Homo-oligomer: A and B are copies of this chain.
Amino acid sequence: MAKAKRSKPRNGVKEIARRANVALATVDRVIHGRPGVSKKTLEKVKKVIEEMNYQPNIIGRRLASMKEYHFAVLIPEINEESGFFWEGPASGIKLASEEIKSMGVEVTTFFFDQNDKNSFVASADKILKGKFDGILLAPFFIEESIAFTNTCEAKAIPYVFINSDIPDQKSLSYIGPDLYASGYLGGQLINYLIKPGGQVLIVNISLEIKNTRQNRLLRKEEGVRSYFMRNKIKNEILKIDITNVSEKTIEKKILEVLIKNPRIGLIFVTNSRVVTVAKCLEKNYINHVQIIGYDLIPSSIDYLKNGIIDFLICQKPQEQGYRGIMTLYHHLILNLKVPEVYHMPIDIVTKENYAYYKI
């Protein structure tokens, strides 16, 4: 016969049941706020729980509950269009998924086309039908995102914003850049490079550049301008918005401006399209103009290497994904507190440190 004796810690549900003089099932009901408990019993059990400062054992809970947690991810497709930027978050998401798989969490990723609101809505609908326990999303289209997250709220499904925020929504957390601050840092870097009298050209390239507070590119531009203003930098700032993203158009527009303004000494591109600008300068043998841009993506490395791009400002795309998933995990499974806003560090990547840049 077996006699398994162990020192019993006596501070689990069993002890609660004993002290409150109720059954385990009742304790469980109270802990999870499930119905079917009389007011009187409820009070009694609650009191004991408080007295004991009971902390549930996550392991026991996970083992007993066959419940699997399902997280949904809604991010843009990974393609040339976005310079493969979303490869970063996606890989971080994968990393986190593997780490928490043994805790019974399964992560499903849904994609949408950055140029197609309908694809966003379609994927969002799929998620709503899929009965997920938590959602991580890049709220690319504001209105559609709000509609989606409102539904999530109604269904009490927590969601985390990644890469861009909608401040008024009740997201569990926002994880991503402070765009304005990154532009401000850009201003400082420009100031290190630009020569007295040189002009700075800010280039925004995107299919749609509406002047709203939500516009990512304009927020960065604003940051640059603020830096110049506050530090009384004398170099003149020119700017150009390009809403046709074909390489040809970009090249034409850039060359036009450069020819008209020969004193331009530095180009600041507010997103990963900096690669196209770099390509254009290289192709046309323009090497008196320095470049600062955004995002370390495969195609930008070459231009960093050969010195055509001096600085890239990066915001840890991989870590954004990793942290996004872990935030849901911490909240839903571990019951840990999660920060409402987590601004990524604003990293400066150069020829000499890009190889060490990760997560």
Contacts and interface: CB of A to CB of B under 8 A. Distances in A.
A292 B353 CA distance: 16
Interface string A104-140: 1000000000000000000000000000000000000
Nearest to A177: B356
A59 B345 contact: no
B334 A358 contact: no
Interface residues of A, number: 40
Nearest to A315: B356
Interface string A25-66: 000000000000000000000000000000001111011001
Interface in A302-347: 330, 334, 336, 343-347
A344 B188 CA distance: 25
A350 B59 contact: no
B348 A350 contact: yes
Pairs of residues from A and B, 10 with the lowest C-beta to C-beta distance, nearest first: A185-B352, A348-B348, A346-B353, A58-B102, A188-B352, A345-B356, A185-B353, A59-B63, A346-B356, A59-B62
A172 to B, nearest CB: 17
A165 interface: no
A347 B347 contact: yes
A353 B178 CA distance: 10
Contact of A104 (B59, B99, B188): B59
A98 interface: yes
A356 B178 contact: yes
B63 A63 contact: yes
A227 interface: yes
A185 B336 contact: no
Nearest to A6: B66
B188 A59 contact: no
A97 to B, nearest CB: 12
Contacts of A233: none
A352 B227 contact: yes
Contacts of A353: 181, 185, 345-348
A351 interface: yes
Contact of A334 (B99, B181, B345, B351): B99
B352 A103 contact: no
A59 to B, nearest CB: 5
Contacts of A359: 345
A356 B188 contact: no
